[in-house]
Amino acid sequence: MAEPLTAEQIESALNDLPGWSYADDKLQKRFEFGSFKEAMSFLVRVGFEAEAMGHHPELFNVYSKVDIALNTHDAGGKVTELDVRLAKAIESFAWRD
C-alpha span between 72 and 76 (Å, rounded): 7
Count CB atoms within 10 A of the CB of residue 56: 14
Binding status of residue 95 toward a second copy by CB under 8 A? no
DSSP state of 74: G
Among 9, 61, 89, 91, binds a second copy (CB under 8 A): 61
Which CB, 56 or 85, lies closer to a second copy? 56
Which CB, 65 or 88, lies closer to a second copy? 65
- Of 14, 6, 2, 9, give the one whose Cα is nearest residue 91: 14
Binding status of residue 23 toward a second copy by CB under 8 A? no
The contact set with a second copy (CB under 8 A) reads 36-37, 40, 43-44, 47, 50-51, 56-63
